[in-house]
Structure 1
Amino acid sequence: MLTCALLYNYDCKEGVSVVRACLFDLDGVIVDTAKYHYLAWKRLANELGFEFTEEDNERLKGVSRMKSLEILLEIGGVSFDEETKEAMAARKNAWYVEYISKMDSSEVLPGVIDFLTSLREEGIKISLGSVSKNAMIILKNTGVDKYFDAVIDGTKITHAKPDPEVFLKGAEELGVNPKDCVVFEDAQAGIEAAINAGMRSVGVGSPEILRKADFVISSFKEMSVDRLKF
């Protein structure tokens, strides 16, 4: 999931907007950790005796760990007390961390490095905006941590998407007015969070799923600094 907040100055002579800052969501946008979340949740579901499909997994994108667990248990038609659910969530996360600990730079999605490099060359600040509590592990393992001026992750927020907290905190840390922000997201909950924050949004992935976004791209190979001026 990628979140990009843009601070614009209007150039009256040229009639164009100038980008000053970008925030990126992580899962499914910069790297494809979504597959590792899916494998870990599927492993838990199978352990509990029911199937968990990739279609089911779409409902978990951009959602907190405990909320994701609630959705998974709803799919399986089972319920547990809070202590048991906490233990399940911890077990799922341990499996997930095991998977992502083996990640490297080859797992950064196409076009991302070129786009981040272009932003740096233009002097545009970059921040992460993700609900993941394992964001720093992923950034460091894949080598993209060097591109970020700030990181807002699951350790710094209390509300999951579609609550706009993660985006609003990112904008605040970069000194960006929410109305001057654009959010890049691969999840419906993230697009809704952007709308709730009063920000513009660009979907990364399926136009059918991300229909509330201002526009949708299939990958960052389609992105450039110039295209951000909309």
Structure 2
Amino acid sequence: MLGLPDGTRACLFDLDGVLTDTASVHAAAWKQMFDEYLRARAEREGTPFRAFDIATDYAAYVDGKPRMAGTDSFLRSRGIELPEGGPDDAPDADTVYALATRKNALVQEKIVTVGVEVYPGSVRYLHAVKDAGLATAVVSSSANAGQVLEVAGLAHLIDHRVDGVTAKERGLPGKPAPDTFLAAAADLGVGKDEAVVFEDALAGVASGKAGGFGFVVGVDRLGQAEALRAHGADIVVTDLADLLGGKP
């Protein structure tokens, strides 16, 4: 038993925070990048330095969103508006693009040096899903999802991937828009009412709800169960293994 509605044919998993603990790697990278920028800005302007707070800022502004959107969202929360910029920006440029690029470089460095932890309950659940004959996809805002799946040893359990690279290639808006999840379901050849979304981020849960999927599972890693329900989760669990042997 997988704890899913009858008629489910596919499981669409977010990666960071659902299957792997790369959410902590991403959070650390966001904090390092933002703190370096905010500290330099405060020194330049002679204003107090206020650090990026993982406990509050990560979930509210960047978790689950594409890098550019997350970068801009947090900066605006501090009253900072920067030009968008582009690929030709110098690494130290004061643009959203440059800051987002710095964050990505830090993530890639940490994946190699720190590694990727997987949630054992998620691995058990993935095996059960595959044994049941259901299709699987990872739907992630990260451009590093393929690398993370390989490093984590999960690639063989995933049939399809729609990630930040795919979204850019296809012009798909990121979460909380439902387009990446809808694309994954279509690529797998299943209807949205036959697919279940698994998300730990508020933006991701909202994406699943907006897409009209058959069921949305919220995975509470940050003590935000009520917020996940408010954003559209049909059920909230603390670990995917909690679903084994149960019905929704």
* TM-score of the pair, normalised by structure 2: 0.80
Cα pair 1:104 1:143 within 8 Å, conserved: no
Q: Structure 2 CA distance, aligned partners of 1:18 and 1:118?
A: 16
2:209 counterpart residue number: 195
Equivalent position amino acid for 1:90 in 2: T
Distance change (3 Å), C-alpha of 1:44 and 1:68: same
Q: Structure 1 CA distance, aligned partners of 2:114 and 2:178?
A: 29
Q: Structure 2 CA distance, aligned partners of 1:202 and 1:69?
A: 26
Equivalent position amino acid for 1:42 in 2: K
1:56 counterpart residue number: 57
Q: Structure 2 CA distance, aligned partners of 1:125 and 1:204?
A: 20
Query: Which ranges in structure 2 are unaligned for 5 or more consecutive residues?
Result: 40-49, 86-94
Equivalent position amino acid for 1:47 in 2: E
Equivalent position amino acid for 2:74 in 1: L
Equivalent position amino acid for 1:214 in 2: D
Q: Structure 2 CA distance, aligned partners of 1:177 and 1:102?
A: 40
After superposition, residues 127-146 of structure 1 pair within 5 angstroms as 127-146=137-156
How far apart are 1:162 and its partner, in Å? 1.1
After superposition, the CA RMSD in angstroms is: 1.9
Number of residue pairs the alignment of both structures matches: 214
1:91 counterpart residue number: 102
> Can you list the C-alpha shifts for 1:179-202, whole angstroms capped at 9, x where unaligned?
222211111111111111111211
How far apart are 1:75 and its partner, in Å? 3.3
1:28 counterpart residue number: 17
> What SS does structure 2 have at the residue aligned with 1:183?
strand
How far apart are 1:42 and its partner, in Å? 1.1
How far apart are 1:89 and its partner, in Å? 1.2
Q: Structure 1 CA distance, aligned partners of 2:35 and 2:140?
A: 27
Taking only the aligned residue pairs, the percentage that are identical comes to 37
- The counterpart of 2:219, out of the listed 204, 208, 212, is 204
Q: Structure 2 CA distance, aligned partners of 1:98 and 1:169?
A: 30
- The counterpart of 1:79, out of the listed 71, 78, 81, is 81
Cα pair 2:8 2:195 within 8 Å, conserved: no
Equivalent position amino acid for 1:119 in 2: V
The reply on whether 1:186 has 2:200 as its aligned counterpart is: yes
Higher-helix-fraction structure: 2
Cα pair 1:126 1:150 within 8 Å, conserved: yes
Cα pair 1:191 1:201 within 8 Å, conserved: yes
Distance change (3 Å), C-alpha of 1:80 and 1:18: closer
1:13 counterpart residue number: none
Q: Structure 2 CA distance, aligned partners of 1:72 and 1:112?
A: 30
Q: Structure 2 CA distance, aligned partners of 1:153 and 1:56?
A: 23
1:12 counterpart residue number: none
Query: Which ranges in structure 1 are unaligned for 5 or more consecutive residues?
Result: 9-16
How far apart are 1:103 and its partner, in Å? 5.3
How far apart are 1:57 and its partner, in Å? 0.5
More displaced 10-residue stretch of structure 1: 74-83 or 152-161: 74-83
How far apart are 1:167 and its partner, in Å? 0.7
- The counterpart of 2:243, out of the listed 213, 217, 223, is 223
* TM-score of the pair, normalised by structure 1: 0.86
> Can you list the C-alpha shifts for 1:147-169, whole angstroms capped at 9, x where unaligned?
01111111112211110011101
Q: Structure 1 CA distance, aligned partners of 2:152 and 2:113?
A: 10
Cα pair 2:11 2:198 within 8 Å, conserved: no
Equivalent position amino acid for 1:101 in 2: V
